[in-house]
Structure 1
Amino acid sequence: MLTHITLMNFALADHLELELNQGFNVLTGETGAGKSLLLDALSICLGERSDTAQVRYGQDKAEVIASFSYQADSPEGLWLKENELFEDTEELIIRRVIFATGRSKAWINGRPTSISELRTLGRLLVLMYSQHSQQQLLNPPYPKQWLDRYSGLQSQAQILKQSYQTWQKIERQYQHALEAQHSRAAKIEQLQQQLEDLEPLLALNYQDIEQEYDRLSHHESMMQDCSSMLYAMDDGEQNILGELNSIVRRAETQQGRSKHLEQVYNSLLNAQSELQDATSELRQFIDRQNFDPERMEELNQQLEQFHRLARKHRLQPHELLNEYQIWQNQLEQLHELENPEHLAEQAEQAHAHFIALARQLDQARQEIAIPTAQQLTEQVKPLALPEAHFEFKFESLDSPTIDGLSNIQLLFTANKGIPAQPLARVASGGELSRIALVMQVMNATRTDAEVLVFDEIDVGISGGTAEIVGRLLANLAQHVQILCITHQAQVAAQSDQHLLVKKQQTDPASSTIIILDEQQRIYELARMSGGVEINETTLQHAKQLRELKFQHTKS
Structure 2
Amino acid sequence: MLTHLTLINFALADHLTIDISSGFNVLTGETGAGKSLLLDALSACLGERTDSQQIRYGADKADITAVFSYIKDSPEQVWLTHKELEDGSGELHLRRVIFSTGRSKAWINGRPTSLAELKELGQILVQLYSQHSQQQLLGQHYPKQWLDRSSGLLDTVQDVKSHYQAWQKAIRQYDDALHAQTTHQQRVQLLELQLEEIEPITAYHYPDIEQAFDRYSHHEAIMQDCNYSLDVLDDSEQNIAQQLASILKRIDTHAGRSDELAAINTALLNAQNEISEAASQLRQFIDHQSFDPERMAELNTQLEIFHRLARKHRVAPEDLKQQYETWQDELTQLNLLEDPETLALHVKQAEREFLTRAEKLDQMRQAAAPQLAKELTHQVKSLALPEAQFEFVFMPFEQPHAEGLSQVQLHFTANKGIPAQPLAKVASGGELSRIALVMQVMNAERTDADLIVFDEIDVGISGGTAEIVGRLLAKLGQHVQVLCITHQAQVAAQSDQHLLVQKQQTDPASSTIFELDEDQRIQELARMTGGIEINNITLEHAKQLRTLKYQQK
Alpha-carbon deviation of 1:84? 2.2
* 205 and 358 in structure 1: CA distance in 2 versus 1, 3 angstrom threshold: closer
Q: Which amino acid aligns with 1:90?
A: G
1:399-418 pair list within 5 angstroms? 399-418=399-418
CA contact (8 A) 2:181 2:338 kept: no
- Aligned counterparts of 2:201 and 2:447: Cα–Cα separation in 1: 70
* 338 and 2 in structure 1: CA distance in 2 versus 1, 3 angstrom threshold: farther
Query: In the alignment, what sits opposite 1:189?
Result: 189
Q: Which amino acid aligns with 1:452?
A: I
Q: 2:152 aligned with 1:152, yes or no?
A: yes
- Aligned counterparts of 1:317 and 1:117: Cα–Cα separation in 2: 41
Query: In the alignment, what sits opposite 2:216?
Result: none
Deviation string, structure 1 residues 184-203 (Cα, Å, up to 9, x no partner) = 11222344456678899999
1:443-462 pair list within 5 angstroms? 443-462=443-462
Instruction: Structure 1: state its 5+ residue gaps.
Output: 213-250, 257-283, 290-294
Query: In the alignment, what sits opposite 2:471?
Result: 471
* 400 and 77 in structure 1: CA distance in 2 versus 1, 3 angstrom threshold: same
Deviation string, structure 1 residues 78-129 (Cα, Å, up to 9, x no partner) = 2222222223331222222112222222222222222222222222222111
Please give the root-mean-square deviation of Cα atoms over the aligned residues, in Å: 4.0
CA contact (8 A) 1:198 1:320 kept: no
Alpha-carbon deviation of 1:176? 1.4
- Corresponding residue SS for 2:461: coil
Query: In the alignment, what sits opposite 2:369?
Result: 369
Alpha-carbon deviation of 1:534? 2.1
CA contact (8 A) 1:526 1:541 kept: yes
Q: 2:52 aligned with 1:52, yes or no?
A: yes
Deviation string, structure 1 residues 414-440 (Cα, Å, up to 9, x no partner) = 000000000000000000000000000
- Aligned counterparts of 1:319 and 1:544: Cα–Cα separation in 2: 87
Deviates more, 1:116-125 or 1:316-325: 316-325
Query: In the alignment, what sits opposite 2:275?
Result: none
Q: 2:433 aligned with 1:438, yes or no?
A: no
1:72-471 pair list within 5 angstroms? 72-192=72-192, 330-337=330-337, 339-471=339-471
CA contact (8 A) 2:389 2:413 kept: yes
* 169 and 532 in structure 1: CA distance in 2 versus 1, 3 angstrom threshold: same
- Corresponding residue SS for 1:182: coil
Between the two proteins, what is the percent identity of the paired residues?
65
- Aligned counterparts of 1:314 and 1:449: Cα–Cα separation in 2: 58
- Aligned counterparts of 1:407 and 1:329: Cα–Cα separation in 2: 43
1:502-517 pair list within 5 angstroms? 502-517=502-517
- Aligned counterparts of 1:415 and 1:363: Cα–Cα separation in 2: 30
* 178 and 468 in structure 1: CA distance in 2 versus 1, 3 angstrom threshold: same
Query: In the alignment, what sits opposite 2:249?
Result: none
- Aligned counterparts of 2:442 and 2:162: Cα–Cα separation in 1: 27
* 173 and 386 in structure 1: CA distance in 2 versus 1, 3 angstrom threshold: same
CA contact (8 A) 2:310 2:320 kept: no
CA radius of gyration, larger in: 1
Alpha-carbon deviation of 1:485? 0.3
TM-score, length basis structure 1 = 0.78
TM-score, length basis structure 2 = 0.78
Q: Which amino acid aligns with 1:373?
A: A
Q: 2:41 aligned with 1:36, yes or no?
A: no
Q: Which amino acid aligns with 2:146?
A: W
Query: In the alignment, what sits opposite 2:485?
Result: 485
Deviation string, structure 1 residues 490-537 (Cα, Å, up to 9, x no partner) = 111111111111111112211111211122111111111122222222
Instruction: Structure 2: state its 5+ residue gaps.
Output: 214-237, 244-289
CA contact (8 A) 1:46 1:118 kept: yes
- Aligned counterparts of 2:355 and 2:82: Cα–Cα separation in 1: 35
Q: Which amino acid aligns with 2:527?
A: R
Q: Which amino acid aligns with 1:407?
A: Q
- Aligned counterparts of 2:452 and 2:489: Cα–Cα separation in 1: 20
- Aligned counterparts of 1:169 and 1:50: Cα–Cα separation in 2: 40
Deviation string, structure 1 residues 329-361 (Cα, Å, up to 9, x no partner) = 644543344632222111211110110011111
Provide the aligned length of Structure 1 versus Structure 2: 490
